[in-house]
Structure formats: C-alpha cells, structure tokens
A and B are shown apart, each in its own frame.
Chain A
Amino acid sequence: MADSDQVILTMKGISRAFPGVQALQDVDFNLRRGEIHALMGENGAGKSTLIKVLTGVEAPDTGVITLEDKEVQVRSPQHAQELGISTVYQEINLCPNLTVAENILIGREPRRTGRIDWKRMNAQAVDILERVDIGIDVTQTLGSYSVAIQQMVAIVRALDVASTKILILDEPTSSLDTYETDQLFSVMRKLKGQGTAIIFITHFIDQVYEISDRITILRNGKLVGDYDTNSLTHLELVSNMLGRTLVELDSVSKSRSKLVADGHTSDPVMQARQLGSTGAIDPFDLDLYEGEVVGFAGLLGSGRTEIANLLFGVDKPDHGTLAYNGKAVKKFSPLSSIERGVALSPEDRKAAGIVDELSVRENIVLAMQANRGWLRYLSSAKQTEIADKYIKMLNIVTPSPEQPVKNLSGGNQQKVILARWLATNPQVLILDEPTRGIDVGAKTEIQKLVVSLAEEGKTCIFISSELEEVLRTSDRIVVLRDQEKITELTGDEMNETLIMQTIAGS
C-alpha cells in the first residue's frame, strides 16, 4: 500500500556529530503524503537533531535529503519554510498580547491605501480558522485563549505563511489536557485529509497509537526502525525505545540488597502519602528507607523528574503529605530541603546544576556554603581541603581545583555535582539522570559510587532512562507511566521484561 510516489520526503544516511557526541549516525527517515508519522525516542536519541537537520537549523555532516524527488539542501529555517516545511514548537512562538487575527496574519496584513485593513484582516483570519473548524473571536488577544487554541493558531499560521507540505509538531500536547488534545487531533486529522504530511513528536504512547499511521524510533542517535503503528505492540515500542546497553560493564556489588529485601527494620526516612501536584504527577505513596537505592523507571515525561522535584521542594505539592524522619514537612523549598539533608542532582546539569564559569572548588562548596549561611564564610584553605578530598574520592579528572568547570568532560562535571551534594553530607540523595551523556566508564564509576553511598547508610533515588542501569543499581524500582506511579517492584520482580510491560501498560 506504500507506493513510492506517495513518499514526499526521504532523508538518507544522515549523520551529525557535536563535540563529544555523535548525535545522529546514519539515520534514514521517510515521510508520505497525508500521513501522521510519530518520531519517538528518549532524551538524546537524536529526535531533535534530526528535526534540526530537516529544518535547516543544523547542517548534516553526511546524508542526503530528497523532497518531492528533488535533492535539497536546507540552508536555514526560512529556507525550510520556503520549501514547505513548517515547524510548531512546544513553546508557542506567538505574541500573546496581539489579537488572534494579527498573530495569524502579521507580516502579511491586508492593507487599504497603505494602512492596515482591520476588517478584512479579521475576516481573513476567520476564514483561515474555519478551514480547520475552529470558530473563535479573532479580535481577542491570543493570551486570553487556552494553550490548545494558541497551539492551533500557531499551526494555522505555519500553514498559511507558506504552502506547507510538511508540518512538524514538536511535543504539541505536553501542556494540553484531554479535551484540548482531542481538539488538536481533529485539526491534525483534517490536515492529513488535505494531504499534509505531519511529523508528530511526543512521549505519550497512548497518543501515538491514537493518531499516528507510522512510527520511526531512534535510540542513541541511531535508527531502530520504522513501523506501521498497528503492527507494533506497545511492548515492542517501549523496548525499542529503551533498548539494552550492549556494552559489558563492571558488575556492581549488590550483596547488600538481601539485607534490604529482608524487610526494613527502621522507620522510613521519607514518607509520602498521596503526595501529588496537578498537571505534573498524580498522588502517590512512597517510603524511602536508610541505606537503599530506589530506582525510578519510566519514559521521559512519565513523572519521574516530577517526583524528584516534589521531594526536593522545587515544585510545591497541592495534594497529600510528606514526612521526613517522622516529622511532617511544612515548608517546600530547595533551601529547606538542603537544611533537612535532602539533595537533588538535577536532570539537566547544564541548565540547573553546574555553574560553568566557577571553578571546580567553588562548584563543590556551593551547596555547603548555602547550607551554612552566607555570613559564615568558609576559609579558602578549608575550601581547598574539601575540594581536594572529593576530587580524590570521586576520581574527578581535573588539572587543579581552580579549573573552570566548563572545561571538564560531562562525566567529570557530573561528579562535581555529586561532590557538591556529598559535601553537605545529605541523608537522602536524589540523582536525576546522573549518567546522561557521559561515557561508559564514567557511568560505571557513578553507579558504583551510588551503591557505596547506600552502603554507608544514605538513601539514594536513582532516575535513569536506561533500564539496565536502574536494574543494576537499585534495590527497589518504582515504575511510572503517564504521570502516575504504577507499581513498585522488588526482588525477583525486578527484571527488564516486567518493567517494560508495566511501562507499556500491557
């Protein structure tokens, strides 16, 4: 049924490297007229790089793009638009203070004797919106409408600016509720019926099955394959996305897991009861005990980071209670969490962890200094002593403690963040994707470190997209799906198959 003349776009052998990472390696992708094609993969799989290559943001190192049987080189986002490739991003690039009509037509406003003809502009906007069955007052400001409507206005604008043949929707549903998502889907179906090819990027598995015709899966910059949606099971999809790390790693000692499995003798360090935050994570129960590693398994957006943020006080819960060492937590803020002895190493170390310009020493003492209060200054001799201790302990490769952190490799930066939190001597350590984007050797080192910290009696939460890694380090695994804690697995239940089945919801 897939006639080759239906194919509108082919990308063949696309590779793209960034310093230190091979973001895309020999990836093929093809798209047909009038189909909704889901592009799936975890963080770092190469989805966004592939889209950037297609939209001219990045040039590929190798590879050929063929659009409607003609080989093209996409030079810039503007050029992509001229070619008929439009993108609508998750964060809406429109002006909320302007009216809906203006947002659709600005730059191409109808004019009469030099001045803007508002009447005609509004009428045109109504026409354009009617094509996708949206009837709203176009003279109201865009900001007065829901995110879904704004999203659709962005789509309509993209379609109207150029004669769009390919529409790329980058996580359009991540801030929409069910009703709004349905609205968006009906617009997508309408466009599909008109022959537009749509690339749909999302991490909601149910939505992929609801709307897409085909799925292309990427993992670690490589193509896993493309599939017809109704011939791929949920389980196959999840296992293809998560994959297995094929590299043999040093084994991590797990002798103590028996001790934990035998039952907890002490009271929990942290106890969450029906803790939740609307729109981020559904209410969940969670007990954390001394000396254990609790792994979080689930896809991106499943709620794993959201739980971490709640426990650390980055986000405030609107539901349930949290107790720390038996005492109810009243104040939710990172600072009060640090004072209690909870530490979080965030998912995106570039944006939320490392202070690039500061030295290794300064980065290490940062949290400790915050904990002591800024008035009680730590002498520089003392600071160097602490920095040296952790550089040795964690085996951080740096010429000197005075080296700016930005000059270190990813793995060593991650260790600096770990050192920062260890210096505050936390009781609970939450590690969100601590091994992302670092090489295999460094990964094992960090895994070992986590296990040894638990042996010292600390509680660790270990969050990772790589199932194997979670399995290797954790004593207990919390499985999450679509912003909901599904179950907890211990002992023999902790195997890849069962976890994947749980994530896939089958």
Chain B
Amino acid sequence: MSRSFKIDRKYVPMLATICLFVAGYVIGAIQYPGMARPQTFFNLFIDNAFLLIASTGLTLVILSGGIDLSVGAVIALTSVAAAYLMEHTGLSSLIVIPLMLLMGAAFGALMGGIIHVFKVQPFIVTLAGMFFARGMAFFISLDAITITDPFYRTLSLARIHLIGKSFVSVHVIIAFVVLAVFMYLAHLTHFGRTVYAMGGNEQSARLMGLAVGRTKVLVYTLGGFCSALAGLVFSNNLLSGHGLYANGLEMEAIAAVIIGGTLLTGGVGYVFGTMFGVLVNGLIQVLIIFNGELSSWWTRIVIGLLTLVFILVQSTFASMRRRQASIKPARKRPAAASDGLAAPDTPPS
C-alpha cells in the first residue's frame, strides 16, 4: 500500500534528472510555443543520437570504476577513416561500416587489455588512446572529406514517421537499440552485475571469484564499439569526416553520464539515466536556440554547473552514509556480564 509510494533511495539521482528534464521542457514549451511541437521533441533525439550512443557505452565503463577519454577522438577517427575508405578506395559502405565497428571494438579491447595486464590507470591509457586516435584522424586526412556513398546518403536522409508529420532518423532507432541492449547487459546478465561489483570494490569482486580481468577488457571493448558507432552516426549525419569533429565530446559524455545519476567512482547508477543526462544537455541547447539572445556557450556553462551540483550531491550522500554507519552506541560489554562469566572459574587472588 504505502510501500508502492515509497521511492527507493537508489533511484533518487536518476529521478531527479528525469524531473529536471520534464520540468525544463514543460517550462520551455509554455514560454516558446515552438517547443510544444512534437517534432522539436523528436529533434532532441535526432540531434543527440550519437551522443546517446557514446554516453551509453561510457556509462558501463564508468560503472566498472573506469573512465574512457578517447570517446571524442575515436568518433573523429571513425568519421575520417570511414570517409577516406569510401571516397578514396571505393569500398562500399556495407563493408566500411562493420570494419569501423570492428576497429573501434579492437581499439577499446587494446586499451582494456593494457589497463588490465599492466595495471595502469584507465585515465592514462585512454588519454594516450585519445591522442593516438586524434592524431591518426589527421594522419589520414588534414581536410574534411565529403561522403558520396549512395547507401550512406540514403541512410542519412531516411525518415521514420511517427505521429502525424513528425519523424525520427535511423540514428535514433540505432541509439535506442544500443540503449536497450546495454540496459539488458547491465541489469540482467552476469557480466553486467560483475561490472557493478567491480565498480563497488574491485578487490572484493576478485575475492568473490568474479572474472574481473575479462570483464574489464570487455567493458572497454564495448566502449570502443559504441564510440565507433557514434562516429558512424556522426559522419552519417553530416555526410563527411574530419579530424576536428567531436572535439572534447568525451567530456560532454562524461557529464551526461554523471547528470544521469551514475557515480563517477563507479558501482552506482543506471544506463537508463544516461539517456536523460543526454536529453538535459540537448534541452539546454534547444532553450538557448529558442531564446535567440543567449550565446551558445551558455550550454557549456549550465552543463558544467549541473555536473558540479550532481557530483557535490553524490559526495554529500556518500559522506552522510559513512557518518550514519560510524555513529553507533559506544562499544562496551556490560561489566556485569563479564563478572558473571569470570566468577565461576576465576579463583580469588
């Protein structure tokens, strides 16, 4: 009865973000009638599909207690490599797409392998990966390459109609499939639970007999795969590839994951929440566009503040819990009990 009304505390950060998004959107829709149009809402997904894909992969990495800074660079590399292969070698996009996904997964697996085998900080390894991928993108081509592959163009322009005249792109469908798959992985598979266990306490996870090493490599492999997929979506959207694309995007993805309610130190959070982290990011951009007077840099400022607020709230929660755990009655065995036990077998001395 009353139980069904009680909100579990573990959902609070995610629910806060969802409320924030809904409230923000409703207020926006009241102020700017344009925002009330269904298509504006769907555009939010269309414009942010690639960010959603990348952030979803990153959520798993962060949940496992790691971090991946190479997200933006891998997006750029994928866009350039795909464009180069299609335009300068004449390969069909049907070959290039799986090839790029494979490359991203392999790149992630390599980083995960290094992190696991050499026990290096993920921050360092993925930072190196970031520089490497960004460098490779410019090595392939200094200039932007326009993609003319017919299938790629078809894919880019395809519209899936929903209610009335409003529509979404194929990218949105892809993003939702990725989201669903990752939600399944995270919550309903042994692999996913191992990821959470690792994020909670890696040492314990190992002692509990969980395959920590294998899981870690797999997490970064999936992360790399998602980055490459996001790169394909990104280049498909713009029908071009360039080494400058998605500069600093990893930071936006990290912010989206945190705003979505995932603990930066790992172990706590929901893949589903990340979607709202991404949507909040998109919503602020939309609000700024509709306002028409604010500089677009306000997006960054607001996202920065939100990230800070979420991290502060989480760390206050964590320290509150610690304090709660440490406050307990002074430990004292009652003297009477000790005397009572001592009396029968202790001779008077």
A residues engaging B (CB < 8 A)?
Answer: 78, 92-98, 102, 106-107, 109, 111, 114-116, 118, 141, 143-144, 146-147, 157, 161, 176-179, 181, 204, 206-207, 209-210, 230-235, 278-279, 282, 482-483, 501, 504-506
Asked if B197 is an interface residue, CB under 8 A from chain A, the answer is yes
Q: State whether B208 touches A177 (Cβ < 8 A).
A: no
B209 interface residue (CB < 8 Å to A) = yes
Cβ-defined partner of A95 (8 Å) among B201, B209, B333, B342 = B201
- Listed A/B pairs (22) with beta-carbon separation below 8 Å: A78-B209, A92-B204, A95-B201, A96-B201, A97-B196, A97-B199, A98-B193, A107-B190, A109-B190, A109-B193, A115-B184, A116-B187, A178-B331, A206-B338, A209-B341, A209-B342, A231-B345, A233-B347, A279-B328, A483-B331, A505-B339, A506-B349
Which residue of chain A has its CB nearest to the CB of B263? A97
Q: Which residue of A lies closest to B327 (CB)?
A: A278
In-complex Cβ contact of B338 among A95, A143, A505 (8 A): A505
Any A CB within 8 A of the CB of B326? yes
Bound-complex Cα distance A109 to B208 (A): 13
Contacting pair B210 A177 (CB below 8 A) = no
With A95-B196, A97-B196, A505-B342 in contact, is A147–B325 under 8 Å at CB? yes
- CB of B334 within 8 A of CB of A233, answer no
Q: How far is the CA of A115 from the CA of B321 in the complex (A)?
A: 32
**Given A102-B193, A143-B321, also A177-B331 (CB < 8 A):** yes
Q: Are A106 and B333 in contact (CB under 8 A)?
A: no
By the criterion CB–CB under 8 Å, are B349 and A95 in contact? no
B164 at the binding interface (Cβ < 8 Å): no
Give 15 new A-B contacts, CB below 8 A, not counting A231-B345, A235-B349.
A95-B196, A97-B196, A102-B193, A115-B188, A115-B189, A116-B190, A177-B328, A177-B329, A181-B333, A233-B346, A234-B342, A234-B346, A278-B330, A279-B331, A483-B331
Q: Which A residues touch B342, using CB under 8 A?
A: 209, 234, 504-506
Tell whether, in the assembled complex, residue A207 and residue B197 are in contact, meaning their CB atoms are under 8 Å apart: no
Q: How far is the CA of A209 from the CA of B341 in the complex (A)?
A: 7
Chain B nearest CB from A227 CB (Å) reads: 11
Q: Is the CB of B333 within 8 A of A204?
A: yes
B184 touches A97 (CB 8 A): no
Min CB gap B58→A, angstroms: 18
B196: chain A residues at CB < 8 Å are: 95, 97-98
What chain B residues lie within 8 Å of A206 (beta carbons)?
333, 337-338, 341
Residues in chain B near residue A95, CB distance under 8 A: 196-197, 200-201, 204-205, 208, 267
Contact across chains for B333 and A178 when beta carbons are under 8 A apart: yes
Does B153 reach chain A (CB closer than 8 Å)? no
Check if A116 sits within 8 Å of B203, measured CB to CB. no
Write the nearest CB–CB distance from B80 to chain A, whole angstroms: 38
Q: Does B10 contact A (CB under 8 A)?
A: yes
Q: Would you call A176 and B331 a contact (CB within 8 A)?
A: yes
Most-contacted residue by chain A among B194, B328, B337, B347 (CB, 10 A): B328
Would you give the shortest CB distance from A169 to chain B, in whole angstroms?
Answer: 16
Residues of B within 8 A of A233 (CB): 345-347
A486 to B204, CA, bound (A): 39
The one of A230, A231, A482 that contacts B333, using a Cβ cutoff of 8 Å: A482
B268 part of interface (Cβ distance < 8 Å)? yes
From residue B252, how far is it (CB to closest CB) to chain A in Å? Answer: 26
B341: nearest chain-A partner, CB-CB: A209
Tell me, yes or no, whether B207 is within 8 Å of chain A by CB: yes
Please report the total number of B residues contacting A with Cβ < 8 Å: 43
Q: Is B119 an interface residue (CB 8 A)?
A: no
| Inter-chain contacts of A157 with B (CB < 8 A) | 208
Residues of B within 8 A of A (CB): 9-10, 184, 187-190, 193-194, 196-197, 199-201, 203-205, 207-210, 267-268, 321, 325-326, 328-334, 337-339, 341-342, 344-347, 349
Alpha-carbon distance between A114 and B344 when the two chains are bound, in angstroms: 60
**A497, closest chain B residue (CB):** B349
Write out the residue numbers on chain A whose beta carbons fall within 8 Å of the beta carbon of B337.
206, 210
Which of B194, B200, B332, B346 touches A96 (beta carbons < 8 Å)? B200
Taking CB atoms, residues of chain A closer than 8 Å to B347 are 233
CA distance A268 to B205 in the complex (A): 52
Chain B residues with CB below 8 A from A115, complex form: 184, 188-189
Are A282 and B333 touching (Cβ within 8 A)? Answer: no
Q: Are A93 and B328 in contact (CB under 8 A)?
A: no
The 4 A-B pairs of least Cβ separation, nearest first, read A95-B200, A97-B200, A97-B267, A115-B188
CB < 8 Å neighbour of A94 from B10, B208, B349: B208
For the complex formed, measure the closest distance between the CB of A377 and the CB atoms of chain B, giving whole angstroms: 32
In the assembled complex, the CB of B177 is this many whole angstroms from the nearest CB of chain A, namely 17
Min CB distance, B192 to chain A, in Å? Answer: 8
Question: In the assembled complex, how far is the CB of residue A151 from the closest CB belonging to chain B, in whole angstroms?
Answer: 13
Q: Quick one: which of A94, A207, A209, A282 contacts B204, CB cutoff 8 A?
A: A94
Q: B203 and A93: CB pair below 8 A? A: yes
**Chain B residue with the shortest CB-CB distance to A498:** B349
Q: Which residue on chain A has the smallest CB distance to residue B266?
A: A97
Report A-chain residues with C-beta under 8 Å of the C-beta of B197. 95, 98, 102, 106
Bound: A221/B88 CA distance, A: 75
CB of A93 within 8 A of CB of B331, answer no
CA distance A94 to B207 in the complex (A): 8
Is the beta-carbon distance between A207 and B333 smaller than 8 angstroms? yes
Bound Cα distance from A431 to B208, whole angstroms: 39
Task: Chain A residues near B328: list those with CB within 8 A.
Answer: 146, 177, 279
Instruction: Give CA–CA (A209, B338) in the complex, Å.
Output: 9
Contact A106 B210 (CB under 8 A): yes
- A282 smallest CB distance to B (angstroms): 7
Contact yes or no, A116 B193, CB < 8 A: yes
Instruction: Report how far A144 CA is from B344 CA in the complex, Å.
Output: 41
- CA of A282 to CA of B197, assembled, Å: 37
Q: How far is the CA of A141 from the CA of B325 in the complex (A)?
A: 14
With both chains docked as a complex, state the minimum distance between the C-beta of B44 and any C-beta of chain A, in angstroms.
31
Q: Closest Cβ of chain B: how far from A147's Cβ, in Å?
A: 7
Minimum CB–CB distance from B18 to chain A (whole Å) comes to 21
Closest to A115 in B: B188
How distant is A105 from chain B, measured CB to nearest CB, in Å? 10
Please pick, from A93, A97, A176, A278, the residue contacting B208 in the complex, using a CB distance under 8 A: A93
Report which residue of A231, A234, A506 has the largest number of chain B beta carbons within 10 angstroms of its beta carbon: A506
